[in-house]
Amino acid sequence: MTATATAVDRLAIDTIRTLAMDAVEAAKSGHPGTPMALAPVAYTVWKDFLRYDPSDRQWPNRDRFVLSCGHASMLLYALLHLAGVRRGGSPATGSEELAVPLDAIRRFRQLDSVCAGHPEHHLIAAVETTTGPLGQGCGNSVGMAMASKWLAARYNRPGHVLFDFDTYVLCSDGDLMEGVAAEAASLAGHLRLDNLCWIYDDNAITIEGETELAFSEDVGRRFEGLGWRVERVADANDTAALGRALEAFKGETKRPTIVIVKSVIGYGAPTKAGSHASHGAPLGAEEIKGAKACYGWPADASFLVPPEVPARLAATCGARGREARRLWQQGLEQYRHAEAAAATELGEFLGGTLPSGWQQRLPTFPADPKGLASRVSSGKVIEALSGAVPWFLGGSADLAPSTMTLVKDAGSFGHGDYSGRNMHFGIREHGMAAACNGLALCGLRPYCATFFVFFDYLKPALRLSALGELGVIYVLTHDSIGLGEDGPTHQPIEQLASARAVPGVSVFRPADANEVTETYRVVMGRPDRPAVIVLSRQNVATLDRTGLGPGTGVARGGYVLKEAYGGRPDCILIGTGSEVSICLDAATMLAAEGVRARVVSLPCWDLFAAQDAAYRESVLPAAVTARVACEAAGGFGWEKWLGTAGVFVGMNSFGASASAGKLYEHFGITAAGVAAAARRTLGR
């Protein structure tokens, strides 16, 4: 159990506080109050509980520490610096440089510093996840806890425990007000994730003022109702009480734990301490001097790190983590001898490689004019991938029968059996996506699914997938007015443009079953980039590729599907998804009139844009300005490929309730409509 803080511990806590004050003051922006108030809490977690080896930040069984209240980023940067966390990988091969050197803290929030205003995983790999948008870290932590449970169920054996890591989260009033945290907490309670601990900073302050303006619920009772253990600490400075609460978490075997800690924001500053102003603004030179005097700190010293502080963390967190990692490595060697087959699979997982032969498991589909809905062919590919890649797993927001993401014989992930790979996220799109980010951060390859119209419900988490370079796969079905009778509330119109606008995300809309297969082939090879795979409810023909370009063209984002007669097109018809077949039919109509039309399938815009200029020119030659694009969605963004003379055939309004066929006729998204547009571009 944690003892009362020693003089060195108090010195360490005050070092965190003063680093936060100095960094925010130097930057002239930032949030000093929360790091000051929570310094005793975070320090206690790291010193006494976190199983973490600073010399090997990639150790797979390390405990995770998530700062969901990312505005308190200086708290995390100070801890990473003081704990001596190294930038490189394993001690044998990694860099000995600090992940967060003091000079980076001095340049807090500056362009050339890794210490951004909010913690960013892609800048500092030792930052477990990118946080800033409140609630997201809470959602990520649920995925991390799920990953620990799944990895344990998959690879642990009697006498060989390789995975049992815990996840600790610091969260704020703002986190718990956000809906994504509520979704995540509900899911965690249902799954009985006893390896998850949220530490809630109950400081009764937000940007606008006291929380009583908008937040008066009993958080403890809410979490009890969600199936959590609730511990309370009356004073954030009472490290002994905090230690007892965390010991209770360690002993819990059936529920996640929330520790509700009362704090005063900016604790220690003598004048404005506890005031709203200290939440999101520098304290000012005079107040900093007063605060330092209160701590017994040299008033004129800036960015002072007494040598006793790193030494204290090295002797506690560092020594404990180093020994735990050594025993783990020793156990892994024993495992390799005792469980050879499982060890081989685990080696591939830990090495970040896919199992050999996985691509050979992908299906090819015979030509079929009736075809399949692309959501159905996607389900068949997911089934094949599940059999080839053990750590490929995921689920849907209660829509697995419609999104075709339920894998036969893969089992359901739940508190009775954490080995299942079908994850049931419930009707919690935002929490689902945030949890999948957490799964990806633990090395798994997760997919999550819902109807495309609900893209807006999960987009904030998808944006962080992109920012954090996480290979989450978003399987989004019912992609257009083609879903039919459910009507405009369920018919996505603007979502394609919205998804394509997110940097670092690849959006695929495959035209037939074999393009679906090639889409997954591309996506699985890119573990550092999220993908949105947009799929139809209605059947699309599986193309007879005789005389057509192969589906492998998906790997380049776009390709010539059908060449114009003689190879010299008068016009180019460009389509994605279910509208590619419409373009093919339109080309046949135009050919009968002597118009030579090339058909281009453009399933992934950003991949096509990444190709060299010569390839793009070979597909969309600049000299051919007569172009028509067809997509059963809004046309925003298509001007990039159409140029000034091109015509878009698609939607410029919301949809309507009717069968798919009637809707396509009603809105003019037909072969005749595309052919007519082509004639207009040619002046005929």
CATH architecture type of domain 7-325? 3-Layer(aba) Sandwich (3.40)
H, E, C per residue of 283-342: CCHHHHHHHHHHHCCCCCCCCCCCCHHHHHHHHHHHHHHHHHHHHHHHHHHHHHHHCHHH
User: For the chain, how many residues are written?
Assistant: 684
The Cα 28–Cα 109 span in angstroms is 9
The 10s digit of each residue's pLDDT in 628-653 is 999 999 999 999 999 999 999 999 99
**Site of tokens 């998204």:** 669
Domains 358-541 and 560-681 fall in the same CATH topology = yes
3-state DSSP assignment of residue 506: strand
- What is residue 274's predicted lDDT score, i.e. its pLDDT? 36
pLDDT of residue 684: 79
* Under 8 Å between Cβ of 175 and 248: no
Q: What integer pLDDT is reported at residue 3 of this predicted model? A: 57
Virtual torsion, Cα 260, 261, 262, 263, nearest 10 deg: -140
Burial class (CB in 10 A: 0-12, 13-18, 19+), 633: buried
Residue 273 has pLDDT above 60, yes or no: no
Q: Taking residues 64-89, what's their average pLDDT?
A: 95
Query: What is the chain's mean pLDDT, rounded?
Result: 95
Whole-angstrom distance, CA of residue 532 vs CA of residue 449: 10
Distance separating alpha carbons of residues 524 and 472, to the nearest angstrom: 10
SS in 3 state form for 562-627? ECCHHHCCCEEEEECCCHHHHHHHHHHHHHHCCCCEEEEECCCHHHHHCCCHHHHHHHCCCCCCCE
Domain range list for the chain: 7-325, 358-541, 560-681
Flag the least confident range among 274-288, 324-338, 517-531, 640-654.
274-288
Q: Quick check: 571 and 598 in contact, CB under 8 A?
A: yes
CA distance 62 to 71: 24
The whole-number pLDDT of residue 562 equals: 98
Token pair listed for 144: 């991390």
Rounded percentage of the chain residues whose pLDDT exceeds 90? 92
Residue carrying structure tokens 């057509």 = 548
CA proximity to 265, closest of 201, 169, 170: 201
What is the pTM (predicted TM-score) of this model?
Answer: 0.96
Domain 358-541 in this protein, CATH class: alpha beta
pLDDT confidence tier of residue 208, bands split at 50, 70 and 90:
confident
Which CATH fold would you assign to the domain 560-681?
Rossmann fold (3.40.50)
pLDDT of residue 582: 98
**For 583-632, what is each residue's pLDDT tens digit?**
999 999 999 999 999 999 999 999 999 999 999 999 999 999 999 999 99
Q: Which secondary structure element, helix H or strand E, spans residue 134, and what is its range?
A: none
Alpha carbons 573 and 675: distance in angstroms, whole number = 9
Q: Which entry of 429, 515, 518, 563 is annotated as an active-site residue?
A: 429
Distance CA 269, CA 288 (A): 7
Q: Is 429 a catalytic residue?
A: yes
| Residue % of the chain over a pLDDT of 70 | 96
pLDDT tens for each residue of 127-153: 999 999 999 999 999 999 999 999 999
3-class secondary-structure state, position 556 = helix
Taking a C-beta distance cutoff of 8 angstroms, is the pair 539, 373 a contact?
Answer: yes
Closest CA to 201 of 170, 238, 228: 170
pLDDT of residue 449: 98
Q: What pLDDT sits at residue 131?
A: 98
pLDDT band at 90 (very low <50, low <70, confident <90, very high): low
**Taken in order 481, 487, 488, 490, is the CA torsion positive or negative?**
negative
Which residue's entry shows tokens 């373009």? 583
Q: How many CA atoms lie within 13 A of 625 on its CB side?
A: 7
